């Protein structure tokens, strides 16, 4: 797990000045790789590559990047892990011209495979999470690539005819001229709707995210990148429907058990300590249970808890850890501890991001990094196996929605929204205990308000959009923004022949998962130099899940059926049979309490009006209604607040971009490394 950055100019560049800018760009992402750094440049060709390394596989200098291929043709900077690199290495060793290995890193194997087979054939053989930039010295072509599902980030775009790329936006912002790149109002509108900026857009005009499973090729002097998919969820869906699993449900559980074990045997490999997040839910419990069966010692597991029962799963995680015999660490977080990290969020997430579970994700990452360098996670299980409440309820609800006249639906929505969420919670609470354990949901009022938002939908697209939107009227919040993003609309087209539930699972996998969940985990973990690995997003598991009939995933009002049956082989039913809570924090209460002064300053009408990006009247009404308790605008306000805080952070750093500096020691080490790399060529 590392970070990289660089640039490609249309002509040769001044090496001295460019070295200093590259140094600054790389220094900005040092948290992604605190163990080592490296630089490689070809001033005549106009290419510069920089790398920060978090050493996981092959801790020696032989894993140093940028790495030059054996023939000298390719230069590579790479972020991530190739889990099947040992098998690929063995295949290359059996070839007619086996490589002469210098070390045992997956980086060296990746580079040798590309030299032997080419970029796209190599990508089709990889199982892993990664992004990389590859310079072909003979053809003078730069190739960018990103892993199939989008675990690792990659940004790119042009500033003053210079092509910039990197693992985080902050690296690109260090380049001279970026200060003049404007905010994209259309992307801002999408952010207000979804609490993140959906790919391929970013918050900046002309700066993009490379989509998952995609290759981009760029030539110096040509102001566009040619992109092509080498793998897609859509193809996995189509192929899965053509080769549908024909065995019994028990057969499917057997195959999934074997497949997860195979993936875990690869993902548990590291030259550093490995642990796992354990929330107590189905997904993380399954990962930890199968890890423990393959481990020679007790797995280290980590969780955080809150004293607020509605936001706490620590007790459940502890019970599962005790049953499995893991070495468990838990930390109960006070509101003051959680609030202390809020000022750090805009810098950590680098682009406006407002999924409030970013707070506990950062806290559990900090806790975990005290003990281990790599942590496995149960993320992805909901998207791949149908675990969200909307997957369970959507088909029935959507089928029945059309029977109600539109005026009746609108009246029902107004009635529900007229009652505060907290009031609904209190009214329903006495009856919850009579429901089955796995139906005793929390935050009922919030869920009913969400229901009110969607019952007016006139099409499935609108239905899904409203279900997954933080703010369905984002155009009322953002000034001068278009209503529709064509780039996003092209992503949200599901393959034909899917049920409403399967369409949601597909759309969640291609949009919500990479743009929200994986962004949240990557930035939080990498801010403390922790590598996260996500077994359920291995493409073999994703492909297998789409071979299964929906009834093996969602049935009888319950999601993740096959995962539950797998977990029940290792963990008693009573330990995990409960409703899904999520990884949430009481943001609404904090905004009326401990965070009130901070929020009031960022939401000042004068401040918002001077920025000329958001509508001060709309924001002001939401803020006053939330403070008065007549409405719960916690999610919408958190989205606005994270944008405002991000904007402050970026503008405060603009003066730094005007300077160059790095420490004299860093500059000295950088130049020494540069000379060594040039001499080795």
The angle that helices 282-294 and 249-267 make with each other, rounded to 10 degrees, is 70
Tell me the C-alpha distance between 150 and 211, whole Å.
Answer: 7
680 is in an annotated binding site: no
304 is in an annotated binding site: yes
Q: How far, CA to CA in Å, does 297 sit from each of 57, 267, 273, 291, 326?
A: 20, 16, 12, 10, 9
Which two tokens mark 418? 């007229």
Side-chain half-sphere exposure of 11, counting CA atoms within 13 A: 3
Residue 641 contacts residue 599 (beta carbons within 8 Å) = yes
Q: Which of 443, 515, 499 is nearest to 151 (CA)?
A: 515
Tell me the C-alpha distance between 566 and 577, whole Å.
Answer: 13
- DSSP, collapsed to helix, strand or coil, labels residue 587 as helix
Residue 1 contacts residue 32 (beta carbons within 8 Å) = yes
Which two tokens mark 481? 């923004």
How many H helices and E strands in the chain?
Answer: 31, 17
Peptide bond into 12 cis (omega under 30): no
Side-chain half-sphere exposure of 434, counting CA atoms within 13 A: 4
The neighbour count for residue 221, using CB atoms within 10 Å, is 13
82 is in an annotated binding site: no
Peptide bond into 66 cis (omega under 30): yes
378 is in an annotated binding site: yes
Return the bridge partners of 276, or none: 301, 376
Dihedral of CA 519/525/530/533: which sign?
A: negative
Q: How far apart are the first and last CA of the chain?
A: 26
- DSSP, collapsed to helix, strand or coil, labels residue 39 as strand
Q: Catalytic residue positions?
A: 2
Residue partners of 614: CB distance under 8 A and separation at least 6: 477, 478, 479, 608, 640, 643
Annotated binding site for ATP: 304, 377-378
Annotated binding site for L-glutamine: 106
Annotated binding site: 106, 304, 377-378
């Amino acid at each position: 797990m590392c970070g990289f950055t660089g640039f490609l100019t249309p002509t040769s560049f001044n090496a001295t000045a460019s070295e200093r800018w590259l140094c600054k760009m790389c220094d900005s992402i040092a948290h992604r790789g605190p163990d080592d750094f490296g630089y490689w440049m070809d001033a005549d060709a106009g290419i510069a590559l920089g790398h920060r390394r978090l050493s996981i596989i092959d801790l020696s200098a032989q894993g140093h990047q940028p790495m030059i291929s054996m023939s000298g043709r390719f230069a590579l900077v790479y972020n991530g892990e190739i889990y099947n690199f040992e098998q690929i290495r063995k295949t290359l060793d059996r070839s007619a011209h086996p490589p002469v290995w210098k070390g045992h890193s997956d980086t060296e194997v990746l580079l040798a495979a590309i030299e032997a087979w080419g970029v796209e054939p190599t990508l089709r053989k990889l199982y892993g999470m990664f992004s990389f930039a590859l310079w072909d010295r003979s053809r003078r072509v730069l190739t960018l690539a990103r892993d199939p599902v989008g675990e690792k980030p990659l940004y790119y775009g042009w500033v003053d005819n210079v092509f910039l790329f990197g693992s985080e936006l902050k690296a690109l912002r260090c380049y001279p001229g970026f200060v003049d790149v404007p905010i994209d109002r259309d992307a801002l509108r999408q952010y207000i709707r979804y609490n993140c900026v959906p790919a391929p857009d970013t918050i900046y005009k002309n700066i993009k995210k490379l989509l998952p499973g995609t290759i981009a090729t760029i030539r110096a002097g040509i102001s566009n990148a040619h992109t092509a998919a080498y793998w897609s969820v859509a193809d996995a869906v189509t192929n899965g429907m053509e080769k549908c699993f024909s065995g019994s449900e028990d057969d499917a559980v057997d195959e999934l058990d074997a497949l997860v074990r195979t993936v875990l045997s690869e993902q548990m490999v590291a030259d550093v300590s490995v642990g796992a997040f354990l929330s107590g839910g189905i997904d993380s419990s399954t990962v930890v249970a199968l890890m423990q069966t393959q481990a020679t010692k007790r797995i280290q597991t980590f969780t955080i808890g809150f004293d607020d029962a509605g936001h706490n799963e620590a007790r459940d995680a502890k019970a599962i850890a005790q049953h499995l015999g893991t070495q468990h660490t838990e930390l109960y977080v006070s509101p003051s501890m959680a609030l202390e990290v809020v000022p750090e969020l805009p810098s950590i997430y680098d682009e406006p991001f407002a999924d409030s579970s970013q707070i506990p994700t950062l806290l559990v990452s900090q806790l975990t990094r005290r003990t281990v360098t790599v942590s496995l996670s149960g993320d992805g299980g909901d998207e791949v196996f149908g675990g969200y409440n909307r997957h369970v309820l959507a088909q029935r609800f959507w089928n029945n929605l059309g029977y109600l006249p539109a005026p009746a639906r609108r009246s029902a929505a107004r009635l529900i929204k007229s009652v505060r969420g907290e009031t609904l919670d209190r009214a329903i609470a006495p009856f919850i205990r009579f429901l089955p354990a796995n139906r005793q949901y929390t935050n009922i009022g919030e869920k009913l308000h969400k229901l009110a938002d969607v019952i007016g939908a006139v099409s499935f697209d609108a239905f899904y959009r409203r279900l997954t939107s933080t703010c369905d009227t984002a155009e009322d919040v953002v000034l001068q923004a278009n209503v529709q993003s064509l780039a996003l609309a092209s992503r949200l087209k599901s393959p034909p022949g899917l049920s409403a539930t399967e369409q949601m699972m597909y759309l969640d996998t291609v949009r919500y998962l990479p743009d929200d969940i994986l962004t949240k985990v990557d930035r939080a973990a990498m801010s403390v130099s922790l590598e996260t690995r996500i077994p359920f997003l291995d493409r073999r598991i994703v492909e297998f899940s789409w071979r299964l009939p929906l009834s093996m995933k969602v049935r009888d009002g319950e999601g993740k059926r096959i995962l539950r049956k797998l977990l029940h082989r290792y963990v008693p039913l009573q330990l995990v049979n409960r409703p899904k809570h999520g990884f949430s924090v009481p943001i609404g209460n904090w905004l009326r309490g401990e965070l009130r002064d901070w929020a009031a300053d960022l939401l000042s009408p004068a401040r918002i009006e001077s920025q000329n990006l958001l509508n001060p009247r709309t924001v002001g009404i939401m803020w006053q209604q939330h403070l008065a308790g007549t409405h719960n605008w916690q999610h919408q306000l958190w989205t606005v607040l994270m944008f405002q805080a991000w904007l402050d952070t970026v503008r405060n750093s603009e003066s730094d971009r005007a300077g160059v500096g790095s420490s004299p020691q860093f500059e000295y080490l950088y130049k020494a490394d540069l000379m060594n790399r040039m001499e080795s060529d």
